[in-house]
Every structure is written in C-alpha cells, then in structure tokens.
C-alpha cells in the first residue's frame, strides 16, 4: 500500500483503517493499528492542551487583547504577556521590534544608509511565533479587507512570500507594542493609526 506523506494523509489513512476500508489489506490494517491508536491518543492530548491554553489566555486581560490581533493566537499572546511585563521599558515600537530581532540591519557607509536582512538579535521564540502568525495571516488574507491585510496583499504583488511574512511580523510586533503600551484592543489601536 502506498499513501501520501504528511499529517493530513496520515489522518486520512487512520480514518480509513478505523472504518475498515476494504481497499486496505487486513495485514496492513493490523500492522498499522498501534500507530492509529497512538495518533488518536496524541490528537486527544493536543486537543486537551489547546483547550487549557485557550482557557488560560482568555482569563488574562493582556493575552485577550493581544489575541484580537490577526495572527496572534493564545500561545503567542501568553508568551508575549509573560515575556514583556512592562512595555514602557521600551523607547518605542521600533525598539520593541528590535528586541524581537525583527528590524533590518543597517550597513551605513559614507553617509549612505543601506538596510539589510533582519538582525535576528533578541528573543528568538517570540520572533518565531510572530513570523508563524504572519504566515497564517498571509495564507488567509484573501477574504479580508482590513488595512493590515490590504497592505500585505499589495506587498505580495512585488515581493517574495517569506520577505513579506517577516515584514508583516515586524508590523505585528509594532501593533503588539501599541496594545501593550495603551491597554487597548486591536480595533481601537488601528482606528487611532488610520
């Protein structure tokens, strides 16, 4: 038996084995039954942890405000809320983005300023969470017309996907800073920026 790789294909195969699909030989079903059981057990454990994380995030006012930002889920919101206790310790949004390593390196010479790749200095875990969140925003950008996604759509016309994802992560970091500093929600912050 040959099946595609990846988690979706594995779950589909597990579903077919549990449904006793006649196109799969009984010896293959018997051999894969322990793996199917393990996959179901892992899925249930992940669901339990996800529900617990969501419950904790909803109980924290800061995490709740951060989750109103597109691309920021309960894990990212809780990680930011736990890591950044006082937003006033940063001079501004650019310094906060630099703390996460999401600002471009500057190579200046002879009065000419040249921006390079992101510095990657700073909190690696939070940077990764924001970049992953930016990927999610870009993958699901089509049905939305808010300013953030419109900006990303326009950038996608001329720039590669990963570059736009990092630029969007930088923008998300600056929005996170504004929410941490003001105590407002995403909707209130974007109205003041417009």
Give the pLDDT of the chain (194 residues) as one tens digit per residue: 678 898 888 889 899 988 888 888 888 889 999 999 999 999 999 999 999 999 999 999 999 999 999 999 999 999 999 888 888 888 888 888 888 888 776 666 666 665 555 656 677 899 899 999 999 999 988 888 888 888 888 998 999 999 899 899 999 999 999 999 888 888 777 766 55
Q: List, as own/partner pairs, every contact residues 24-32 make where C-beta atoms lie below 8 angstroms and the sequence separation is at least 24, other chains included.
A: 25/1, 28/1
Task: Specify the pLDDT at position 87.
Answer: 84
Contact 168, 134 (CB under 8 A): yes
> Rounded to whole angstroms, how far apart are CA atoms 155 and 133?
17
- Strands, E assignment, the chain: 104-109, 112-118
- CA distances to 1, 29, 104 from 23, in Å: 9, 10, 54
167 contact partners, CB below 8 Å, separation of at least 6: 155, 159
> Rounded to whole angstroms, how far apart are CA atoms 180 and 95?
14
Task: Specify the pLDDT at position 108.
Answer: 62
> Rounded to whole angstroms, how far apart are CA atoms 166 and 127?
9
User: In 3D, which of 155, 154, 152 has the Cα closest to residue 133?
Assistant: 152
Contact 174, 97 (CB under 8 A): yes
> Rounded to whole angstroms, how far apart are CA atoms 188 and 184?
6
Q: What is the model's pTM?
A: 0.76
Structural domain spans, the chain: 7-56, 61-193
Please measure the distance between the N-terminal and C-terminal CA atoms of the chain and give it in whole angstroms. 57
Contact 105, 116 (CB under 8 A): yes
> Rounded to whole angstroms, how far apart are CA atoms 63 and 9?
34
Task: Specify the pLDDT at position 188.
Answer: 75
């Amino acid at each position: 038996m040959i099946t595609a790789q990846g988690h979706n294909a594995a779950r589909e195969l597990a579903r077919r084995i549990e449904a006793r699909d006649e196109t799969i030989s009984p010896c293959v079903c018997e051999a894969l039954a322990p793996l199917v059981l393990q996959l179901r057990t892992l899925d249930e454990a992940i669901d339990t942890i996800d529900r617990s994380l969501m419950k904790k995030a909803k109980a924290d006012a800061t995490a709740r405000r951060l989750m109103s930002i597109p691309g920021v889920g309960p894990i990212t919101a809780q990680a930011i809320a736990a890591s950044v206790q006082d937003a006033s310790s940063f001079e501004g949004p650019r310094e906060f983005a630099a703390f996460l390593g999401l600002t471009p390196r500057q190579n200046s010479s002879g009065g000419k300023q040249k921006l390079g790749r992101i510095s990657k200095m700073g909190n690696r875990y939070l940077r990764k969470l924001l970049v992953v969140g930016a990927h999610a925003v870009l993958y699901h950008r089509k049905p939305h017309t808010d300013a953030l996604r419109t900006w990303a759509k326009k950038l996608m016309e001329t720039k590669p996907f990963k570059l736009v994802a990092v630029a969007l992560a930088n923008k998300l970091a600056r929005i996170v800073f504004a929410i941490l500093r003001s105590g407002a929600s995403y909707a209130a912050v974007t109205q003041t920026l417009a």
